[in-house]
Amino acid sequence: MQNQDEIYMRRALELARHGKFKTSPNPRVGCVIVYQNKIIGEGFHRQYGDAHAEVYAVNSVINKELLKEATVYLTLEPCAHFGKTPPCVDLLIHHRFPRVVIATADPFKKVNGEGIAKLKAEGVKVTLGVCECEAIELNKRFFTFHKHKRPYIILKWAVSADGYIGVNDNTLSKEERWITNERSNQLSHLWRAEEDAILVGTNTAILDNPQLDCRNVNGQNPIRILIDKQLKVEENAAIFNKNATTYILNHVKNEKKGHLEWKKYKEGELFDALFNLCIEKQILSIIVEGGAITHNSFISKNTWDETRVLEGNVRLGKGVSAPNLNRISEERFKLGDNWIDIYRNDQT
Q: Give me the residues paired with residue 307 across strands.
A: 155, 343
Q: With bands split at pLDDT 50, 70 and 90, how would you rate the model's confidence at 1? A: very low
* 54 catalytic per annotation: yes
- List helix spans (H) across the chain: 4-16, 53-60, 88-94, 114-121, 132-138, 140-148, 174-177, 182-194, 202-207, 270-281, 292-300
DSSP-assigned states of every residue in 218-229: SSPPPEEEEE-T
Tens digits of per-residue pLDDT, 217-234? 988 999 999 999 999 999
Give me the catalytic one of 14, 42, 54, 195: 54
For residue 291, what are the contacts with CB-CB under 8 A and spacing of at least 6?
157, 165, 166, 200, 201, 203, 204, 207, 320
Output DSSP code: residue 101. E
Tens digits of per-residue pLDDT, 114-145? 999 999 999 999 999 999 999 999 999 999 99
Alpha-carbon separation of residue 72 from 38, 90, 114 (angstroms): 12, 14, 17
∠ Cα 233 234 238 (to 5°): 90
- List helix spans (H) across 235-307: 270-281, 292-300
Report, in angstroms and rounded to the nearest whole number, the Rg of the chain calculated over CA atoms: 23
Tens digits of per-residue pLDDT, 49-104? 899 999 999 999 999 999 999 999 999 999 987 776 788 999 999 999 999 999 99
